[in-house]
Amino acid sequence: MKEARPQSPILQQRKNHLLDDIVLDILARLPVKSLLRFRCVRKSWYFRITSPNFISAHLNMLLCHNRGYVIHMPSINLDNQDLKVACDRTFGGISEFKIPFSFQSGLAFLVGSCNGLLCFSNFRLQNSISNNVFFGFNDVYLWNPSIRKFKKLLDTCLGQLHLAKLGFAHHSQKNDYKVVRISRPFTEPMPPPEAEKREEDKRRYVEMILSFDVNSEKFKELPLPDDHSFKDGKCFTSVKEKLALAKFEQPPHGMLCCVWVMTEYGVCESWNKLCVVPIKTHTCFIGFTKYGSLLIQKKSQEFCSLEDKYVLIDPKTLYEKETSIQAIHPLVIATYMENLALLDGANVISY
C-alpha cells in the first residue's frame, strides 16, 4: 500500500481561506442577536464580527432582505417612554425599547433613523433677552437598540441657536453617519423692520427645495412640481425611497391630499402625481410605509383622545385599513432594521 502524501502547505492554506470565506458569508446572513453571541466562540470570530468590513457586509445583506419594520413614538415624548417596533405592512406590534439616556429638558425628539441607527436630540425652549421664545436642539445621541449601545455626540460649536433643524443621514462613501444642523443665530436687539415704496414691483416669491449632499457637503436647489397651488400647506416625505411632496388643497367640497413623486432625483420633468386622497378636516398626515401605503391619523372631536384612529390607505384603490396603534399625541414614525452599527465605535456606552 502506498502511503498518503501530506498536502502541500499552499493547498492547505487555500482550503483554510475557502472555509473562512464560507463562514463569513454564513455569518453575514445571521441576525444580530446570534452574531453578538458568536463573538464568544473564538477570538478570530470576535475581531471579524466587530470589523468595519464585516459590519458593512452584514448591512448590505440586511438591505437586500429587509422585511420592513418601523418604529413609532409620540411626537411629544417624555424620557423613558417606550419606543415601539412594528411590522411595516400591518403595524402589528413586535417589541418595545426604552430610551436608555435622558435629557435635561425631559423631552426626547427623534431626529431620524438610518439603517437601524437612531438619532435623538432634546427639544427645548430658549428664552432670549427680550423674552422671545426660540426652539433649539443641543444634545445629540446615536442609539442602536438591537445591540444595546449608544453614544453622545460632541457639543455644537455654533453657540446660541435659533430655529435649529437637524438631519440624519448615511455617508455612503465613508460608510459613516452624519448629523447635519441648520440654524441661524438670534441677536439682541432684533434689527428694525424696513419699508419701501415702489411704483412697480416685478419681484416674485419663488419656492424651491434645498437639498444637502452629505458626501460632497454641498447644497443644491431642486425644483418643485409644476403646480403652484401650495397655499393650503405641504410637507416632504418619501415613497419607496423616492422624494415625494404631499400638497394639501381645500376645494369647496372638502380637503384633498395630492402626492407628487420625483421618479428621477433632481430632474424637474420627473415629478409625477401619484394620487389624490380625499381627507377629512381632523386628519394628520404621517407618511408612507415601505410598501407604499399612506398612514394618516384620524382625530376625534376631543383633544388628545385615545379614540384617534391610525389608518393605512392604498394610494391606488383608496382602500382604508385601520391599525392597532393607540396614541394620544401624533406619532413620529421611521424605518427600522437590525444593524451592527456602533459595535466598533469609540466612546460607546453599553447598557
The answer on pLDDT for 150 being more than 80 is yes
pLDDT digits (tens, 9 = 90+) for 293-326: 888 888 766 555 556 788 888 988 889 888 887 7
CA angle 165, 171, 176 (to 5 degrees): 105
Query: Which distant-in-sequence residues (6+ apart) come within 8 Å of 145 by Cβ?
Result: 83, 97, 118
Amino acid occupying residue 308:
D
In three-state secondary structure terms, 253 is coil
- At residue 302, the pLDDT reads 57
Delimit the CATH 2.120.10 region(s) of the chain: 66-186+206-350
> Higher model confidence: residue 12 or residue 259?
259
At residue 329 the predicted structure's pLDDT band, cuts being 50, 70 and 90, is low
Tell me the CATH architecture of domain 66-186+206-350.
6 Propeller (2.120)
Three-state SS letters, 136-185: ECCCEEEEECCCCEEEECCCCCCCCCEEEEEEEEEECCCCEEEEEEEEEC
In three-state secondary structure terms, 38 is helix
- At residue 36, the pLDDT reads 94
pLDDT digits (tens, 9 = 90+) for 212-245: 888 888 888 888 887 655 556 788 888 988 999 9
User: Mean pLDDT of all residues in the chain?
Assistant: 78
